[in-house]
Amino acid sequence: MSSAPTPPPATRCARHPDVETGLACGRCETPICPKCLVYTPAGTRCPDCAAIGRPKMYILGPLDYARAVATVVVVGLAVGGLYGIVLSPSPRIGLFSLLIGGAAGYGVGAAIAALLDVTTSRKRGRQIQMVAAGGVVLVWLTRLVVSGVPLEWALRDFTGFALMAVAISVASQRLR
């Protein structure tokens, strides 16, 4: 007499009981379906383990967000306001204005990154980079409003564009 081998019981996703899966979390071995699977540098993880494994410096809680946003709003209004008074946008395009914008952008980007380091205890990653970029755009907008130039100049503000491009890239590099 021979009996056919019984097939192993179908494994189902812990979060989606109607989905059969051959995948499991590499840490806690919970069955997970492709929808739940999270790729991490350490391997495939369930959403719970993926959250545990993420270094804290890359996670912004509501308080971190509030501090980060408050920081860039203050910097945006202060720097943008000063900039608008000292150097009003000019519709002239020239290498000199691009250089000035780039140099100012370097300073603005480095300052925003340094201040965010202090107010958010050295957070890193995409979220803090986005907040920093928002601060840079606020510098540009504030300066535009304070200087009171016609709106159509904004579209030809190459000094300002150079400033924003350099500032966002410098801040992103430092907050990576």
**Binding footprint of Zn ion on the chain (CB under 5 A):** 13, 15-16, 25, 27-28, 30, 33, 35-36, 46, 49
Q: Residue 137 and residue 67: Cα distance in Å, rounded? A: 18
CB of 168 to Zn ion, least distance (A): 36
**Phi/psi of residue 44, nearest 5 degrees:** -80, 140
CB 39, min distance to Zn ion, A: 13
3-state secondary structure of 43: strand
| Nearest distance in Å: CB 38, Zn ion | 9
Q: Which is nearer to Zn ion, 13 or 132 (CB)?
A: 13
Is 49 or 75 the residue whose CB approaches Zn ion more closely? 49
Which of 91, 103, 113 minimizes the C-alpha distance to 162?
A: 103
Residue 108 neighbours by CB under 8 Å, 6+ apart: 75, 79, 136, 139, 163, 167
Judged by beta carbon, residue 35 or residue 176, the one nearer Zn ion is: 35
Closer residue to Zn ion, CB minimum distance, 28 or 78 = 28
- Report the nearest approach of Zn ion to the CB of residue 7 (Å): 22
Q: Distance between CA atoms of 131 and 134, rounded to whole angstroms?
A: 5
Record the tokens describing residue 89, joined without a space.
């946008």
